[in-house]
Amino acid sequence: MFDSLADRIREDNHKEVNSTQRVIFWVALTLISIVVFGGLYYGVRMIE
């Protein structure tokens, strides 16, 4: 009967973001993570 605020926000966000935007977000996040962790790995390897 009464929705919690978190449920309402989740529903509103789900309606606003389409599947293409969601895929682009996750691909960008994955690429950024690879670059950051790759840079850290490369930096540690250079120290050795």
Whether 48 has a pLDDT exceeding 60, the answer reads: yes
- Give the model's pLDDT for residue 15: 67
Residue 10 lies in a domain: no
Number of domains observed in the structure of the chain: 1
Residue 36 lies in a domain: yes
Residue 9 lies in a domain: no
- Give the model's pLDDT for residue 14: 64
Residue 29 lies in a domain: yes
Q: Which domain holds residue 29?
A: 18-48
pTM of the model: 0.60
Distance CA 42, CA 48 (A): 10
Residue 11 lies in a domain: no
* HEC-encoded secondary structure of 1-48: CCCCHHHHHHHHHHHHCCHHHHHHHHHHHHHHHHHHHHHHHHHHHHHC
Q: How far is CA 45 from CA 23, 27, 34, 39, 41, in A?
A: 32, 27, 16, 10, 6
Whether 1 has a pLDDT exceeding 70, the answer reads: no
Residue 2 lies in a domain: no
Residue 5 lies in a domain: no
User: Tens digit of pLDDT for each residue in 6-43?
Assistant: 777 777 766 666 788 889 999 999 999 999 999 999 99
